[in-house]
Chains A and B, each alone.
Chain A
Amino acid sequence: MSAPSNKKFENRLVQWIDDRLPIFSYADANVIAYPTPKNLNYWWNYGSLAGIILVIMLVTGIFLAMNYQPHADVAFASVERIVRDVNYGWLLRYLHMNGASMFFIVVYIHMFRGLYYGSYKAPREILWMVGVTIYLAMMATAFMGYVLPWGQMSFWGATVITNLFSAFPLVGDYIVTWIWGGFSVDVPTINRFFVWHYLLPFILIGLVIVHLWALHVHKSNNPLGIDIKSPQDMMPFHPFYTIKDLYGLGLFMIFFMYFVFFAPNFFGEPDNYIPANPMVTPPHIVPEWYFLPFYAILRAVPDKLGGVLLMFAGVFVLYVLPWLDTSKVRSATFRPIFKQMYWIFFLDCIFLGYIGFNSPDEQLLGMKMLYWGRIATAYYFFHFLVLLPLIGKLETPKPLPSSIYEEVAKKCRAKED
């Protein structure tokens, strides 16, 4: 993605191909010799992990699609058949189902990494914004995927989420009918959702390529958040980070496979094993865990349109984040106030998720969840719109180290002593 190197290859066939189609130089420039900061910690593993999970989702999804039937009459039965009768169908399904949760876990860590180390700041704003777009595309993909098994949660989740669009004045109802292809979530809806669910991951691949393209222009940020200044600050990606990424992958797969083999329905809702029934809504409908904070924001607002708009704003505010944070210092390590606010914001997001999971009328410490939800929602936006611009102006950052290289050398010396 950066310009091809002038590398010469010993193997003459490789050289011959490379002179005509420089795939080997590209690979060399982008994953072998690719210069990477020396001081990346394990929070930098999650980008490549996300990429690997995307591949796992694609492969399991394609094989599931070979036995899945996107028709309201038979979709539920076809999924049960996959689990019971198709050879290893249970494995494919549980990999895909839990893979979705793993994908969000990994991407949330990846995003919070960026928030902590200021990776969204100049010159990586577009890299960050492509990331937000990836996140949106992932949410759309996951939502439509969840509809496909056509259980009660699929059906009512689809009904509720698509009805969000009815909040828009005048055109709302037409939009919803248009999305449904009818007057309720029905045969046409599941068919088109399947098409989108199959298509979007390939669009995701395209977005990831753009994401990496942007990444490779200014290279990775790093835990110190300071710029790369000399070749001494870097080392080749291979073998140092290929090994580190693979090691992280091994650990992550243990975590992933625990759920696949021992708790495959941990992240799911039992109600989704009841076939969709358009006449009966389950008493307690909740979205998948990764949507819960936004669900809490939606319900915090007493007005239908207001709730929908605020929920979307919760994601879209990330697009303007690079311009809301006024500090030039990237890494939270050198920003004492920001660092505390970061952790409060992190807890606020978790708390929003907790509120989204519970019914609004439930009590927590003598107050209804609904009111807690309003406080947490207000804080979410307060952090972005008020705290970030202010802290950057008011805080005195700690002195920045002069170079990555010196800092790494200092640590090595300390270890040797």
Chain B
Amino acid sequence: MTDNPTNTAEEIDGPRRDFLLISTSALGAAGVAVAAWPFIHSINPAADVLALASTEVDLSAIEEGQSVTVMWRGKPVFIRHRSAAEIAEAESVDTSDLKDPESDADRVQKAQWLVTVGVCTHLGCIPSGQSVGDNRGEFGGWYCPCHGSHYDTSGRIRKGPAPFNLPVPPYAFTEDTMIVIG
């Protein structure tokens, strides 16, 4: 403040105008941010897409040694009815040797049923191995033709560029041979 006892218009008006400008701009910016959200959120999965997000599968028709592929959220899910030999092999692996250590028991709910998402964790190709004659790679599970990833009978990555095991989707047994994925 100056010696002058009456403040100039500049002194009174300046801070007041700054306050008005800053507060209005801040409110305006907040308003724009709030208004942007509906636009951003509108391209997220819609209610009907989310509603389609669970898939029911009857396992009773799948013979031992056979595999089926079902659709879940637009992606293939591999369901394999594993033989005793395959289970034994999966369980015998020392997890400390694995790139993505996980025991077989942590990946299944019932040992004969392996359920995994059938998308290679490298760059998203579909590994082969669902039909009996397919190339199943060096570990008897799946083999990804794109860049040569080998998965074992527990769907774990054993060799090749993929960083993670085939993920296990959330699923639950509703009956002895009936599961709901998602």
Contacts and interface: CB of A to CB of B under 8 A. Distances in A.
A81 interface: yes
Interface in B18-50: 37-39, 41-44, 46-49
Contacts of B39: 59, 63, 88, 92
Interface string B36-73: 01110111101111000000000000000000000000
A88 B41 CA distance: 7
Name which of A87, A88, A89, A91 has the most chain B CB atoms within 10 A of its CB. Answer: A87
Contacts of B47: 84-87
A84 B38 CA distance: 14
Interface string A61-72: 001001100000
A66 B42 contact: yes
A88 B42 CA distance: 6
Contacts of B44: 87
Interface in A122-164: none
A89 B46 contact: yes
Contacts of B46: 67, 81, 85-87, 89
Contacts of A85: 46-49
Contact of A63 (B42, B48, B49): B42
**Among B42, B44, B46, B49, which residue has the most Cβ atoms of chain A within 10 A?**
B42
A92 B35 CA distance: 11
A173 to B, nearest CB: 42
Contacts of A88: 37-39, 41-42
Interface range on chain B (Cβ under 8 Å from partner): 10 to 19
Contacts of A84: 47-48
Contacts of B37: 88
A249 to B, nearest CB: 11
A59 B42 CA distance: 12
Report the contact-size class of chain A (Cβ under 8 Å from the partner): 10 to 19
Interface in A36-95: 59, 63, 66-67, 81, 84-89, 91-92
B28 to A, nearest CB: 9
A275 B82 CA distance: 51
A385 B79 CA distance: 80
B48 A67 contact: no
B14 to A, nearest CB: 15
B38 A92 contact: yes
B41 A87 contact: yes
B112 to A, nearest CB: 38
Contacts of A91: 38
Interface string B153-180: 0000000000000000000000000000
Contacts of A63: 39, 42-43
Contacts of B43: 63, 66
A81 B48 contact: yes
A368 B38 CA distance: 49
Interface in A196-252: none
B42 A87 contact: yes
Contacts of B48: 81, 84-85
Contacts of A89: 42, 46
Nearest to A84: B47
Interface in B128-157: none
Contacts of B42: 63, 66-67, 86-89, 92
A226 to B, nearest CB: 33
A59 B38 CA distance: 12
B181 to A, nearest CB: 21
A89 B46 CA distance: 9
Contacts of A92: 38-39, 42
A239 to B, nearest CB: 9
Which of B39, B41, B47 has most chain A Cβ within 10 Å?
Answer: B39
Interface in B86-107: none
Contacts of B38: 87-88, 91-92
A96 to B, nearest CB: 12
A85 B51 CA distance: 10
A266 B74 CA distance: 39
B92 to A, nearest CB: 48
Nearest to B28: A246
A22 B165 CA distance: 55
A168 B29 CA distance: 54
A63 B35 CA distance: 13
B29 to A, nearest CB: 14
A86 B47 CA distance: 6
A30 B37 CA distance: 32
Interface string B105-135: 0000000000000000000000000000000
A115 B117 CA distance: 67
A66 B41 CA distance: 12
Give the 10 A-B CB pairs with smallest separation, nearest first: A88-B38, A85-B47, A85-B48, A85-B46, A86-B46, A87-B41, A88-B42, A91-B38, A87-B42, A63-B39
Given A85-B48, A86-B46, 10 more contacts: A66-B42, A66-B43, A67-B42, A67-B46, A84-B47, A87-B44, A87-B47, A88-B38, A89-B42, A89-B46
30 contacts: A59-B39, A63-B39, A63-B43, A66-B42, A66-B43, A67-B46, A81-B46, A81-B48, A84-B47, A84-B48, A85-B47, A85-B48, A85-B49, A86-B42, A86-B46, A86-B47, A87-B38, A87-B41, A87-B42, A87-B46, A87-B47, A88-B37, A88-B38, A88-B39, A88-B41, A89-B42, A89-B46, A91-B38, A92-B39, A92-B42
